[in-house]
Structure 1
Amino acid sequence: MTRDGVIVIGGGLAGVSTALRCRDAGFSVTLLEARSRLGGATYSFLRGDREVDTGQHVLLRCYSAYTGLLSRLGVLEGVDFQSRFRVPMVRPGQRPWVVRRGGLPAPAHLLPVLLGHRALTPRQRVRAASTALALQRLDPDDPVLDRVSFGQWLRARAEPEENVRALWGLLIVAALNAEPEDASLALAVRVFRTGVLDGVRGGDIGVPRRPLGQLHDLPAREVLTRDGAEVRLRTKALSVRPTETGLNVEVDTGRDRDGPAELEAAAVVVAVPHTAATRLLEPVLPEAGQWSDLSAAPIVNVHIQFDRVVTEEPMTAALDSPVQWIFDRSAAAGVRDGQYLVISLSAAHSFVTARSRELRDVFLPALGELLPRVRQAEVLDFFVTREPAATFLAAPGTREIRPPARTRVPGLFLAGAWTATGWPDTLEGAVRSGDRAAEAVELLLSVDRRSGVEVTP
């Protein structure tokens, strides 16, 4: 073991960002990933001649850490950003309309969004503007806000039900993967202030125009290897334990005839989902048991390929429909004939266990009510991807459960969107967690470097 050796367990966005930052600081890095790829939950797979994503991910322009990672990987051009926030909206039996932001300073830039929202009456729009100003005055780092749900807060303000359903609920379900009644007010404030209220361009939406595997997996492997990190795929960490000289990680590659191997390092960063982190670390960190109190929230994606184009919009939000958001993924998946759409369903508790046939019977007619051309189109392919634990449930009280990057075991650190980033479980939260873990590692190991002695955490 070298006195600056770091092992990162988990090759999702948190693990990749940790490993890159640790290499930047000059530490030797070994990244362990149990699967055959990097990227964690953000990955793609082949279906016929198409490369499709398991789930539809979008980002906001305010995602500075995540876009910084994409820049580092050389793939930021693989994301299409809106020049100005714009969301087409559809409702059964009505003509589509578009909401878009203006160019005035924040928060006045949101006035066109409210004025153009046909689902709200003029009086409801005025009330929504008042609520937006009230949100802007709240501090997302105030621990008191985490004890209240966003829905409770809206009710206390006597927010009209139509506003909750057609505006606040539509946005918060997509951003937090939770209904307003299930969502922490603190995390809701973080989303609305950072993404929408505090700056004019922060809420502009970016959509990957490449499959996620091309954005995360291959580029991350190339950059990590080029920068001197060792990437070990199909290598599962079985245990982590302190030793007299550092930390020991027992690993299983499935190829070792003599059984699991052991690796040593001065620092170990565990960057896996909270359920896996609990199983791995509870023997040495008993408080890890409380991480299981972070409930899971599902996301379901319904994939449909038609024989013709049924919408001209790259992204659409739906109201009064089981459909939530519709994305055209034809170009990203390499579909040249017809159109390939993905219906993304957040907080999909009622759909996650449904059979594909049941979902087909629900969503094809529902989509036809929103996009009339669907009724004349032939379905060439229909399939469903499910993520039962896509995120942790961003419920009130989660702040007290989410652990910091540094644990009480010397040299042992945590990363992952579920840790105490102050952000919800998003692409941005994952990368920020990795950056925080790397900063904590650097703080520890830089001191040991200056001491000129072998590390003894």
Structure 2
Amino acid sequence: MSPGRVVVVGGGLAGIAAAFGCREAGHEVTLLETRSRLGGATYSFRRGELTVDTGQHVFLRCYSEYTELLRRLGTADRVRIQPRLRVPVVTPRARWTLRRNGLPAPAHLVPALFGHRALSPRERIAAARTALALRTLDPDDPALDSTDFASWLRSRGEPRAAVTGLWELFCTAALNARPEHASLASAVKVFRTGMLDTTTGGDIGIIERPLGEVHGDAAHTALCAAGVTVLPRNKVSGIHGELGDYRVRASEGGRNHEIAADAVVLAVPNVAAAKLLGDSQRYEHGGQALERAPIVNIHVHVEDPVTDLPMAAALDSPVQWLFDRTEAAGADRGQYLVVSLSAAQELIEAPSARLRAEYLPALETLFPAIRRSRVLDFFVTREPAATFLPAPGSRRLRPPAETECPGLVLAGAWTDTGWPDTLEGAVRSGNVAARTVVRAMDSQPSAAWR
């Protein structure tokens, strides 16, 4: 087979993975990205002495294709995975640690469940039974996508304390949706793959350097070294043609140009994909209708160290998850903490002054030493469309990689990967897109490429 020409539109993790896959199959690859950098949502920016991340700070050991991409980028040494799952929990009155042991799944979670001090002994036993019930459900069962996780928990008699203290704690962070807004299928996928099916799958990975460095910067270097042509600041305005004869219209610095391609990977958010595809009949399953869900991050830089916890989950507090990003951000004094607030629909437009008035006292309640330390900086970052909302019925809105136009392929964590909108979902979608392109091009006579 002669090399074909593939254009990848979008330089997020999905586009990066697709570009690598197509290039490794022997094709000429050009990657177009609207922004000046690659990495999509995994980016960083400078604020004073800090390198600030927006987006996720953690992943799980079960993110196998994501960690493989890090190895390909040469940045696997800039992340750390816990030897065993360990989640510190803080409340205004107490703190403890949820941890696993080394027994086969699901017995490995017995220490976490029976050491969870937010639950009564009876609630811990009920939660263990619910976990076993979750393990019997198939996340690919269409019936599970028609109901929400909270309703299923209620049907099992789970008390409110167990819902808020356990199931909501992890569901909200993993799916960017509270149990009442998350499909049961999505919740089953998260808890089975991340917690219940294997002993090690839920061990938490921490990205120890700025997101932009680990992902976008490294990807640009690695893709160029692999022979991919990377064109940042190129905004794509249209795609037309057919397998073996596509044209991709783009503009750079106000100058319009057109790139010929034998196949195209469209690795952009669902709304952008709908606009570029134009004809809704070519956009299977109405993926443009997927709702988006926001994440808000609250950043607090204090003059003195106030906690020795690298991360923590909070209960009985507006704080959800807290991360110490002091070293990763390059802070040369004090301690830099980030509060990550998922499913933040009610906060996305809240003034920073209001968030400071609410969350600084909340942090002081959890970590009293903050009261004795001067606040060097307090600011808020917002991601209005951080992920798609995995609401009941959302699975049928997620299109497959393959469209009805051969050689025109979709990628992105919002496509039907079987995973929620995560780092792993994005990379898997790119890998699937690359395989789909290769199959399409293999099915055509090689002469068609020129």
TM-score tier after normalising by the smaller chain length: over 0.9
**Separation in 1, partners of 2:88, 2:378:** 24
Partner of 2:432: 436
One-letter amino acid of the structure 1 residue matched with residue 355 of structure 2: L
Aligned pairs (5 A) from 1:74-113: 74-92=74-92, 94-113=93-112
The answer to whether the Cα contact below 8 Å between 1:141 and 1:186 also exists between their aligned partners in 2 is: yes
Structure 1, gaps ≥5 residues long: none
Evaluate the alpha carbon distance shift between residue 6 and residue 285 of structure 1 in structure 2; reply closer, same or farther with a 3 A threshold: farther
**Separation in 2, partners of 1:222, 1:320:** 45
**Separation in 2, partners of 1:376, 1:136:** 46
The answer to whether the Cα contact below 8 Å between 2:23 and 2:227 also exists between their aligned partners in 1 is: yes
Q: Say yes or no: does 1:381 pair with 2:380.
A: no
Identity score, percent: 56
Q: Say yes or no: does 1:296 pair with 2:297.
A: no
**Separation in 1, partners of 2:83, 2:424:** 20
1:67, distance to aligned residue in structure 2 (A): 0.3
Evaluate the alpha carbon distance shift between residue 245 and residue 117 of structure 1 in structure 2; reply closer, same or farther with a 3 A threshold: closer
**Separation in 1, partners of 2:426, 2:64:** 12
The answer to whether the Cα contact below 8 Å between 1:39 and 1:217 also exists between their aligned partners in 2 is: yes
Deviations 1:328-349 (A, max 9, x none): 0000001131100000000001
Partner of 2:186: 187
Aligned pairs (5 A) from 1:341-380: 341-380=337-376
Deviations 1:277-324 (A, max 9, x none): 111112375536922321010000000000000110000100011100
Partner of 1:233: 232
The answer to whether the Cα contact below 8 Å between 2:6 and 2:264 also exists between their aligned partners in 1 is: yes
Partner of 2:306: 310
Partner of 1:48: 48
Partner of 1:36: 36
The answer to whether the Cα contact below 8 Å between 2:284 and 2:403 also exists between their aligned partners in 1 is: no
For 1:411, which of 407, 413, 434 is the aligned residue? Answer: 407
Aligned pairs (5 A) from 1:258-273: 260-273=256-269
Aligned pairs (5 A) from 1:112-123: 112-123=111-122
Task: Count matched residues.
Answer: 449
Partner of 2:246: 247
The answer to whether the Cα contact below 8 Å between 1:56 and 1:301 also exists between their aligned partners in 2 is: no
The answer to whether the Cα contact below 8 Å between 1:278 and 1:288 also exists between their aligned partners in 2 is: no
One-letter amino acid of the structure 1 residue matched with residue 211 of structure 2: L
**Separation in 1, partners of 2:243, 2:157:** 60
User: Which SS does the other structure have where 1:145 is aligned?
Assistant: helix
One-letter amino acid of the structure 2 residue matched with residue 440 of structure 1: T
1:245, distance to aligned residue in structure 2 (A): 4.6
Partner of 1:198: 197
**Separation in 2, partners of 1:345, 1:130:** 29
Partner of 1:452: 446
Q: Say yes or no: does 1:144 pair with 2:140.
A: no
Evaluate the alpha carbon distance shift between residue 244 and residue 41 of structure 1 in structure 2; reply closer, same or farther with a 3 A threshold: closer
User: Which SS does the other structure have where 2:300 is aligned?
Assistant: strand
RMSD over aligned Cα, in angstroms? 1.4
Q: Say yes or no: does 1:323 pair with 2:319.
A: yes
Q: Say yes or no: does 1:66 pair with 2:66.
A: yes
1:3, distance to aligned residue in structure 2 (A): 6.0
**Separation in 1, partners of 2:150, 2:379:** 33
1:49, distance to aligned residue in structure 2 (A): 2.1
Deviations 1:176-217 (A, max 9, x none): 000001001111111111111011110000110000011011
